[in-house]
Structure 1
Amino acid sequence: MQFNVVKTLSAAAVFLAFAGSAQAADATCEVNRPVKFGGMNWESNLVLVDVERFILEKGYGCETETLPTETLPALAALERGDLDVNTEIWLNSVAEPWEKAEKTGKVKRVGELYLGGESWFIPRYTAERLPELKSAADLPKFKDEFKDPEEPSKGRFYGCPAGWGCEVTSTNLFHALGLDDTYTLYSPGTGAAQKAALTSAYKRKQNVVFYYWYPTPLVGSMDLVKLDLPAYDAETHKCLTSPDCKDPKPSAYPENPVFTGVNTKFAREAPKLTEFFSKVAVPLPEMDATLAHMEESGDDAADVAQWFLKNKADVWTKWVPAEVAERVQAAL
């Protein structure tokens, strides 16, 4: 997710203020201000944030706000206290920045959501057309099969959306594999733009090579093949996650721990809410089912969050005390 300069998230920033205006009558929030969530623009985060906000508003009597942001600016904002909660941090995409932030004592890792994954993919129909294309290192031989419409002498590789933490890793890996002479590294402006471009190419059976992460509706709905990468090496990969990596070397992606981070001051002010965030965990099959419902229904994140709360009570009721669960279920 190329590294953007961290933006100052001030009070003047434009908030998506889906503020929870009505507090549960029989619950009193631990903080007397809105709880501030970082709002990323990928599906699992959008849904999980809306699930957590509904639980805080209806179960704990809190008001909430979401601040639209991106991975690295969100981490800086969490450290400053401009955000209270970052629901979904993909550790391998921000390993070095997270380590630095954690050492300040201003942020805390409090809950393990699931183990995600990342890879470089081609569609299966492309793999069948190009049976000798097995690994990312083979890509230079096939540049004409992935022609960049804006620079036809090169192929196009779809990297991570601009500003996301994974852009640093995919960019460093692109350079480490020596692809600069044969491919352009195309970083879509948003996750939605990336998904739209890949979906369009797939529907038209065009050859396309790209970075993506999972669980996601896109990976679940397409028949894809992973390109082989050199064996995972922890130190090599750590450099790949750094914007300042001077001499990147190729390494496969490891399994990616996805966790919740909170501002340490907020954790002291709101121990019950922090305990809730520490228990938020979604088994991968349940996350896959939720994102598949989102893809099939076309519903927005708020509607899918409602679907999750109504249909996955066996998952989320484990996160909260019984009386909180009762208040949430009464509000559905």
Structure 2
Amino acid sequence: MNKSFRHLLFAVCLIALSFAVIGCGSSGEGEQPKETLVFADAGWDSIRFHNDVARLIVENGFGYQTDVIPGSTPATFTGLRNGDIDIYMEAWKQNIIETYQEGIEKGEIVEVSVNFDDNAQGLYVPTFVIEGDPARGIEPMAPELEYVEDLPEYWELFKDPEQPSKGRIYGSIPGWAADEILHQKYETYGLDETYNYFRPGSDTALAAAISTASEEGKPFVGYYWEPTWISGKYDITLLKEEEYSDEKWNNGYACEWPGTDVTIVVNSSVHEKAPEVVDFLENYKTSSKLTAEALAFMQDNDAGTEDAAKWFLQEREDVWTSWVSEEVAQKVKESL
């Protein structure tokens, strides 16, 4: 074998060996590729905001890929239970209590944290409807309106433009668990005799209705909830109902909405495939106030939920850095 051929053969062997070493090194001994973690988007901005906060931390701090599956509350929660969805950042558990408890009892899902618990929902009116607004020259329109059961006395104030012989109550969004509850309340209180129940096509349409009425000083009565940018920007009043009791709630929802823990829930498989992410989610805790601040940022700056999530991570390090290790926090900061 001549000398030049031996050199060529040696070079070929060296290259082959290099590729073999690189291949072994890239896979790592026993190392498996990380799972893609799927979040639920049940259709409102606050869950999308919390999704994006968590996704930025999970992707940049822990190195996982993430995805989102949108849908109604029943559809996404079913997806969580059967494993198509991994993480639910904002489960209003009282609205879905039967399927929620069933999922836990069957070991399909695990509640890992309470995201926030200082929330409210029900039928709201702009406060000027009751109290007036002297600065805007608005006289009180319904000074005695205090309870949902007072509404039949004021149906003419809230006339339905499409059927003026009745008032209009703006209901919840089709597909939301709250819609079924609110419509039953509407019947339980006998409001169907004097009001039509109008379902807006989206949360955007519902927000537009209440914000337009608030800006123009016109009467409005409809479903809303807190935290939202609406509750942060406008003065609105929740109409009272009788104090909550299980008996009344189970008999046509004839009482106030129960206070509810808005929880973070994961499919039971996440403990095995992403234990460090579960540890992070167990520490994830905010409040209605913090959430409303982010939603107001979106409204004031015409920003999306990812923009709001980045703003939150930059402005509120005092909050989120306590959820993760210093090493993870540093990786997230460097990614912003």
TM range (shorter): 0.7 to 0.9
2:79 is matched with: 77
Looking at structure 1, the residues matched to 37 and 303 of structure 2 have their Cα atoms a distance apart, in angstroms, of: 25
User: Is 1:118 aligned with 2:130?
Assistant: no
After TM superposition, give the deviation of residue 80 of structure 1 in Å.
0.6
Q: What is the aligned counterpart of 2:193 among 181, 189, 207? A: 181
What residue is the counterpart of 1:6 in the other structure? none
- Give the structure 2 partner of residue 151 of structure 1: 163
Q: Secondary structure at the match of 2:293?
A: helix
8 Å Cα contact 2:69/2:76 also seen in 1? no
Unaligned runs of 5+ in 2: 1-30, 131-139
Whole-Å separation in 2 of the counterparts to 1:214 and 1:303:
21
Change (3 A) 1:33 1:279: same
Deviations 1:126-149 (Å, cap 9, x if unpaired)? 112111222110111111111112
One-letter code of the match for 1:123? P
User: What is the distance in 1 between the residues matched to 2:288 and 2:145?
Assistant: 30
Matched, 1:301 2:305: yes
**Cα gap change, 1:251 to 1:230, in 2 (>3 Å):** same
Q: How many residues are matched?
A: 296
Q: Give me the whole-angstrom Cα distance separating, in 1, the residues matched to 2:65 and 2:192.
A: 48
* TM-score of the superposed pair, with normalisation by structure 2: 0.84
Matched, 1:254 2:258: yes
Answer yes or no: is 1:171 the counterpart of 2:189.
no
1:289 and 2:301 matched: no
Q: How does 1:14-163 map to 2 (within 5 A)?
A: 32-115=34-117, 116-127=119-130, 128-163=140-175
Give the whole-Å Cα distance in 1 for the aligned partners of 2:255 and 2:98. Answer: 16
Does residue 246 of structure 2 align to residue 221 of structure 1?
no
Normalised TM-score (structure 1): 0.85
1:296 maps to a residue whose letter is D
> Is 2:215 aligned against 1:203?
yes
Report if aligned partners of 1:78, 1:262 keep a CA contact under 8 Å in 2. yes
1:327 aligned to which of 319, 323, 331: 331
Q: Paired residue for 1:310?
A: 314
- Opposite residue 61 of structure 2, the aligned amino acid is G
Could you tell me the percent identity over the aligned residues? 31
1:169 Cα deviation after fit: 1.7
- Kindly indicate which of the two structures has a greater share of residues assigned to helix: 2
SS at match of 1:38: strand
Q: CA contact under 8 A between 2:181 and 2:253: conserved in structure 1?
A: no
How large is the Cα RMSD of the aligned pairs? 1.6
Q: Which stretch has the larger CA shift, 31-40 or 203-212? A: 31-40
**Structure 1 CA distance, aligned partners of 2:52 and 2:165?**
45
Unaligned runs of 5+ in 1: 1-28, 240-246
Instruction: Name the structure 2 match of 1:192.
Output: 204
3-state DSSP of counterpart to 1:290: helix
C-alpha distance in 2 between matches for 1:249 and 1:67:
31
Query: CA, structure 1 residues 249+63, in 2 after alignment: closer, same or farther (shift >3 Å)?
Result: closer
Q: Does structure 1 conserve the Cα–Cα contact (< 8 Å) formed by 2:35 and 2:273?
A: no
Select between 209-218 and 31-40 the one with higher mean Cα deviation: 31-40
Q: What per-residue deviation string (whole Å, max 9, x for no partner) do you get for residues 220-266 of structure 1?
A: 111112212111113432x3xxxxxxx51511112221010100012
> In the alignment, residue 144 of structure 1 is paired with which amino acid?
E
Q: Give the direction of change, closer, same or farther, for the CA distance of 1:173–1:53 in structure 2 (3 Å limit).
A: same
- For residues 265-292 of structure 1, give each alpha carbon's deviation from its aligned partner in whole angstroms, at most 9, with x where no partner exists: 1222221111111111113332232222
Q: Distance in 2 between matches of 1:314 and 1:258?
A: 22
